[in-house]
């Protein structure tokens, strides 16, 4: 790989030396600079940041563009310079290489101490360094033993289902060809007989051995080869050429140039990277989709909030708009002209903007709310310290949205040091007054999936100690102080409203601390932080001691902006019978919120949630016995799968049961994919209308896709936009890459590339369906024409004594497939759209069909009336000439002529009739005529061609009817 030729700084002889990635070895000490990629799995030793922290971007692993925090062990913070790093001597004991991105177990033996190493000290290959000048680390795993490489899959060779079936049909035709030739050869061996002496079968001439009755076996063999040549047209060799030509044109001209799949903002058209899978798009039954960057824009926006029991913020979310539209109601969005719009901030309520919150009934609550947003976070500011130009780097887009909201409310966070946060506060003491306030950060109690909250202990400039806390509503409510029941009740109602609108909610609370209480608690915190065993557990226990008796401030509501048209696209695909699964590296709450936002899950569905975040599993994990943990979780997963499957089957039996949805996290999924539980998971998933898999690794995404692909034998499609989706894209029958913000890795590994998820409906339901129907018609057309052509020859063989006589001309037989029947089948494969009977059915179901049925005869009769009138009015000459010539003929002379004619010989009668005609010489025969009709008749007698005229035919017809009129008289 060319990426392995990139260089990295390695410590050699107390200096940094650049060497290629491919020459790295386990134990090398390396230096990675800002914006650089980690060349291997590294143990984080030191950082240029004072507190041993670095920020990494894991887009290539989990698709998230948000920054993640990694912190080095305090014992290794000094190994930053080449001189100090060369003094590093230690031993790392860790687990064997595996593909789990979110777990790591190991110990570092250094200076006669054993320090536990967790995923927080691991820098994985594929991640990049952000907001840090450089870091120093030691190589743990290299090459194919790194976690990202162990999540990679071999690139498969994809062929469509129709092509594989076509191969089997061709084999069947070969068998049919052999049987036809065998029948003809046996018939030829039986037919040759001495009694057909006149055929000279026993002749000694060259080539006569083929039908010599004395050696029937030779006759059989030679006739067999003759008939193989004769019947070879039954094998549609040109079918593959025609199909490939049709697919190529479908891809390059129809898919690539479809303006309905062209994204104007990024100037990105749809791209078919292969033409082998066009018809496969029309057979997709399961779609596996990534979340971040695929369903969403990866853009969180502060939308609404609740402060002191009052809701602030106007507007409707995308879910509310969809519900309103489906119910047939109309909605109007009243957007204030003074509303501020910024990336991450979509809030519209003049009561809080530009210092107007000072006039609210609860200004103190508003002030604490805004300060909590501006202080309780781990965001890093970048750029100029002005509200217009500053940029925030956050561990999650939610945090960035909250800090941006605080900025717009007048509490501008503009600078951070390891121990201080600087806020530029507006309108606090006096309207229009701006002051920079510094808050000392004493402790940060970080967010994790167990705590589901984050707290910061800060000291005000006046010495006041305050703890700010934000987290999930159920976690915060459990730790609130007694009293304030009215605010609690009203805020809970607001949270339910926000949740039903698809908004991501957080509760904010605070607590003032007494200095003595804080000092006592801080000693315990420092002791837990320096603990060598069960550090995380002890820190959580210490946090519980101070995160109590909180005062509720309010709640925030953030909208995770979906890509345009995602809910409508998913609804359309579901109506087409396609099931959609979401496979994401996000936590359960985030993934479920997005599933609600895009209408994949709704409140009417019965949800099965299989999660490892339960109290029972946590108790077992706290014991630290890995074998016991694995056994227990597997048993719990088996129990949950069995329970959910039984309940799902009971709903399936009762036709009136609700639709089902399954939510499962990555840890449980790892055990559910075990061969002993795989079938149970598949059966449960097949009964569910929607499936959401959370905290899954790239390899697990591919395993889930392969489970449905091979286990259920269904056509699958995977769609994603990041490097973490490559394995999933390659595992499915059809892989779709979205050219988004996370690079082009997914596009390069995909079969088709689009710019937005909503284009998937056109790609599948228009191009996929048309391609599938057209290719099927092409195949059946080929088989029909080749079988018809060959079977005619086969039946003719029975009439020729099985001699192999050709029924068709040699050139015709050779060019039948190549020229004579090539173009029609290509036209069908490119332009045919619908079945004729289906078109008729659709037409008959509309009012226009019956209006046309009534109006067409009327219009036809009216048109004929107009035509006859115009012809009589503008071209009366033909009718007048015929009428005048008809009146000039004398009935008496005609009768006499006939009587005389009866007494003459035929030659005399003809001569007499000619003599009665005007003496005008014909240019063809030399006879005299007054009628072109007679002229053409006699000219034909002499072998000369003279064309007739239409009006002359009318004249002769009228002259033949005159004797009858004369007889009546």
Q: Are residues 447 and 497 in the same domain?
A: yes
Give the pLDDT confidence score for residue 202 in this predicted structure: 62
Residue 873 CA from chain centroid, whole number = 66
Does 560 appear as a known binding residue?
A: no
Q: In whole angstroms, what is the distance from residue 184 CA to residue 223 CA?
A: 8
Give the pLDDT confidence score for residue 960 in this predicted structure: 47
Of 649, 672, 687, the residue that ends a domain is 687
Of 498, 532, 560, the residue that ends a domain is 560
- 237: containing domain: 171-241+771-860
CB burial of residue 320 (10 Å; 0-12, 13-18, 19+): middle
Helices (H), 360-433: 363-375, 397-408
Specify whether the CB–CB gap between 293 and 721 falls below 8 A: yes
Does 891 appear as a known binding residue?
A: no
Question: What value does the CA radius of gyration of the chain take, rounded to a whole number of Å?
Answer: 44
Best CA proximity match to 260, nearest among 832, 755, 750: 755
Of 560, 577, 595, the residue that ends a domain is 560
Give the pLDDT confidence score for residue 964 in this predicted structure: 44
Is the residue at 250 inside a domain?
no
Does 399 appear as a known binding residue?
A: yes
Is the residue at 473 inside a domain?
yes
Give the pLDDT confidence score for residue 967 in this predicted structure: 45
Q: Are residues 377 and 517 in the same domain?
A: yes
Q: Are residues 306 and 427 in the same domain?
A: yes
Q: Are residues 508 and 424 in the same domain?
A: yes
Does 161 appear as a known binding residue?
A: no
Strand partners, 735: 718
pTM attached to this predicted model = 0.64
The secondary structure of 86-141, three-state, reads: CCCCEEEEECCCCCCCCCCCEEEEECCEEEEECHHHEECCCCEEECCCEEEEEEEE
Specify whether the CB–CB gap between 725 and 747 falls below 8 A: no
Does 724 appear as a known binding residue?
A: yes
Instruction: For strands 579-583 and 690-694, give the pairing.
Output: parallel
**Residue 858 structure tokens:** 């009327």
Does 479 appear as a known binding residue?
A: no
Using DSSP's 3-state secondary structure scheme, residue 906 falls into helix
Q: Are residues 469 and 527 in the same domain?
A: yes
The values of phi and psi at residue 590, to 5°, are -65, -45
Per-10-residue mean pLDDT for the chain, 969 residues long? 84 92 93 93 90 82 72 88 90 87 84 84 90 92 89 73 90 93 90 67 59 79 89 87 91 92 89 90 93 79 91 81 64 59 84 87 90 90 86 81 92 86 82 85 82 90 92 88 86 85 86 92 84 74 90 90 86 92 80 81 86 82 80 90 90 78 90 91 91 87 92 91 84 88 72 92 93 91 90 89 84 82 85 68 71 80 83 64 52 48 60 55 49 54 55 49 44
What single DSSP character describes residue 195?
T
Is the residue at 420 inside a domain?
yes
CATH number at residue 460: 3.40.1110.10
Give the pLDDT confidence score for residue 319 in this predicted structure: 67
Give the CA count within 13 Å in the CB-facing half-sphere of 910.
8
Q: In whole angstroms, what is the distance from residue 502 CA to residue 560 CA?
A: 9
Does 292 appear as a known binding residue?
A: yes
Q: Are residues 365 and 489 in the same domain?
A: yes
> Which residues contact residue 825 at a Cβ distance below 8 angstroms, ignoring those fewer than 6 apart?
242, 778, 781, 782, 785
Is the residue at 903 inside a domain?
no
Q: Are residues 545 and 415 in the same domain?
A: yes
Does 721 appear as a known binding residue?
A: yes
Does 470 appear as a known binding residue?
A: yes
Is the residue at 517 inside a domain?
yes
Give the CA count within 13 Å in the CB-facing half-sphere of 812.
7
Q: Are residues 205 and 95 in the same domain?
A: no
**Residue 407 structure tokens:** 């900025």
Q: Give the number of other Cβ atoms within 10 Å of residue 953's Cβ.
A: 12
Residue identified by tokens 């994204």 is 263
Does 391 appear as a known binding residue?
A: no
Does 586 appear as a known binding residue?
A: yes
**Residue 318 structure tokens:** 């995308």
CATH number at residue 130: 2.70.150.10
Is the residue at 367 inside a domain?
yes
> Which residues contact residue 934 at a Cβ distance below 8 angstroms, ignoring those fewer than 6 apart?
917
Out of 28, 41, 62, 290, the active site residue is: 290
Q: How many domains does the chain have?
A: 4
Does 695 appear as a known binding residue?
A: yes
Does 777 appear as a known binding residue?
A: no
Give the pLDDT confidence score for residue 828 in this predicted structure: 85
Q: Are residues 176 and 147 in the same domain?
A: no
Give the pLDDT confidence score for residue 928 in this predicted structure: 47
Q: What does the chain come to in residues? A: 969
Is the residue at 535 inside a domain?
yes
**Residue 95 structure tokens:** 């687990």
Q: Are residues 798 and 854 in the same domain?
A: yes
Is the residue at 525 inside a domain?
yes
Q: Are residues 64 and 213 in the same domain?
A: no
Active site residue 462: no
Q: Are residues 662 and 517 in the same domain?
A: no
């Amino acid at each position: 790989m060319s990426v392995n030729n990139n260089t990295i700084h390695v410590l050699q002889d107390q200096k940094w030396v650049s060497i290629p990635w491919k020459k790295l070895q386990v134990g090398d000490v390396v230096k990675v600079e800002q914006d650089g990629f980690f060349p291997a799995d590294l143990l984080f030793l030191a950082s240029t940041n004072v507190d041993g922290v670095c920020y990494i971007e894991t887009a290539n692993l989990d698709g998230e563009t948000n920054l993640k925090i990694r912190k080095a062990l305090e014992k290794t913070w000094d190994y930053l310079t080449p001189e100090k790093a060369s003094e590093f001597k230690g031993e790392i004991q860790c687990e064997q290489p595996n593909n789990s991105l979110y777990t790591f177990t190991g110990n570092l033996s250094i200076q006669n101490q054993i320090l536990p190493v967790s995923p927080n000290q691991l820098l994985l290959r594929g991640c990049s360094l952000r907001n840090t000048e450089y870091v120093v680390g030691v190589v743990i795993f290299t090459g194919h033993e790194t976690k990202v490489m162990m999540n990679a899959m071999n690139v498969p060779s994809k062929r469509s289902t129709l092509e594989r079936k076509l191969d089997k049909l061709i084999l069947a035709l070969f068998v049919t060809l052999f049987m036809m030739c065998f029948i003809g050869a046996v018939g030829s061996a039986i037919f040759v007989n001495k009694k057909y002496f006149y055929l000279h079968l026993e002749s000694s001439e060259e080539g006569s051995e083929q039908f010599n009755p004395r050696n029937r076996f030779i006759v059989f063999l030679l006739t067999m080869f003759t008939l193989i040549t004769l019947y070879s047209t039954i094998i549609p060799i040109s079918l593959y050429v025609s199909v490939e030509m049709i697919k190529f044109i479908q891809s390059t001209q129809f898919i690539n140039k479809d303006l309905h799949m062209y994204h104007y903002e990024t100037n990105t058209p749809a791209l078919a990277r292969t033409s082998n899978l066009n018809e496969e798009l029309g057979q997709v039954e399961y779609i596996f989709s990534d979340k971040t960057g695929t369903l969403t824009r990866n853009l969180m926006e502060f939308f609404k909030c609740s402060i002191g029991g009052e809701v602030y913020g106007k507007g409707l979310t995308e879910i509310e708009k969809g519900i309103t539209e489906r119910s047939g109601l109309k909605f109007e969005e009243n957007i204030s002209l003074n509303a501020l719009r910024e990336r991450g901030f979509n809030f519209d309520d003049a009561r809080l903007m530009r210092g107007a919150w000072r006039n609210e009934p609860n200004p103190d609550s508003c002030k604490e709310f805004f300060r909590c947003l501006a202080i309780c976070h781990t965001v890093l500011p970048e750029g100029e310290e002005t509200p217009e130009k500053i940029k925030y780097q956050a561990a999650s887009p939610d945090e960035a949205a909250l800090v941006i909201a605080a900025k717009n409310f007048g509490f501008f966070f503009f600078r951070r040091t390891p121990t201080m946060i600087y806020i530029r506060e507006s309108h606090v003491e006096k309207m229009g007054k701006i002051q920079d306030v510094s808050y000392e950060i004493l402790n940060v109690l970080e967010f994790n999936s167990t705590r589901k909250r984050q707290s910061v202990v800060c000291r005000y400039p006046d010495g006041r100690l305050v703890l700010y806390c934000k987290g999930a509503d159920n976690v915060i409510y459990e730790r609130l102080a007694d009293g304030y029941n009215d605010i609690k009740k009203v805020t809970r109602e607001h949270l339910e409203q926000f949740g039903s609108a698809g908004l991501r909610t957080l509760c904010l609370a605070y607590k003032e601390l007494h200095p003595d209480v804080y000092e006592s608690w801080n000693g315990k915190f420092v002791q837990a932080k320096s603990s060598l065993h069960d550090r995380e557990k002890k820190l959580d226990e210490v946090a519980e001691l101070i995160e109590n008796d909180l005062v509720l401030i309010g709640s925030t509501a953030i909208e995770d902006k979906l890509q345009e048209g995602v809910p409508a696209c998913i609804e359309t695909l579901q109506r087409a019978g396609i099931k959609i699964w979401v496979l994401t590296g996000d936590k359960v709450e985030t993934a479920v919120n997005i599933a609600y936002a895009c209408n994949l899950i709704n409140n009417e569905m019965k949800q099965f949630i299989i999660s490892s975040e339960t109290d029972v599993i946590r108790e077992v994990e706290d014991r630290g016995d890995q074998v016991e943990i694995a056994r227990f979780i597997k048993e719990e997963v088996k129990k949950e799968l069995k329970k959910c499957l039984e309940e799902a089957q009971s709903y399936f039996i009762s036709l009136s049961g609700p639709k089902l949805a399954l939510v499962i996290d990555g840890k449980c999924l790892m055990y559910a994919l075990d061969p002993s539980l795989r079938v149970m998971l598949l059966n449960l998933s097949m009964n569910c209308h929607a499936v959401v898999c959370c905290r899954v690794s790239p390899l697990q995404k591919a395993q889930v896709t392969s489970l449905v692909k091979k286990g259920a034998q269904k056509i699958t499609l995977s769609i994603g936009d990041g490097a973490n989706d490559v394995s999933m894209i390659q595992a499915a029958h059809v892989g779709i890459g979205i050219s988004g913000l996370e690079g082009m890795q997914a596009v390069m590994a995909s079969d088709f590339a689009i710019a937005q998820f909503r284009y998937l409906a056109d790609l599948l339901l228009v191009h996929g369906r048309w391609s599938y129907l057209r290719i099927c018609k092409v195949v059946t057309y080929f088989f029909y024409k080749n079988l018809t052509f060959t079977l005619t020859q086969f039946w003719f063989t029975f009439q020729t004594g099985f001699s192999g006589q050709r029924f068709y001309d040699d050139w015709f037989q050779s060019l039948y497939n190549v020229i004579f029947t090539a173009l029609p089948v290509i036209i069908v494969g490119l332009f045919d759209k619908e079945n004729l009977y289906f078109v008729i059915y659709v037409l008959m179901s509309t009012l226009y069909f019956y209006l046309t049925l009534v109006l067409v005869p009327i219009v036809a009769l009216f048109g004929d009336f107009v035509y006859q009138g115009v012809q009589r009015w503008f071209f009366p000459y033909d009718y007048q000439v015929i009428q005048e010539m008809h009146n000039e003929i004398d009935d008496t002379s005609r009768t006499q002529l006939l009587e005389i004619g009866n007494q003459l010989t035929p030659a005399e009668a003809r001569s007499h009739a000619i003599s009665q005609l005007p003496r005008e010489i014909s240019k063809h025969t030399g006879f005299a005529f007054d009628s072109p009709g007679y002229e053409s008749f006699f000219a034909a007698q002499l072998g000369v061609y003279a064309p007739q005229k239409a009006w002359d035919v009318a004249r002769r017809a009228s002259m033949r009817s005159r004797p009858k009129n004369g007889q009546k008289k």
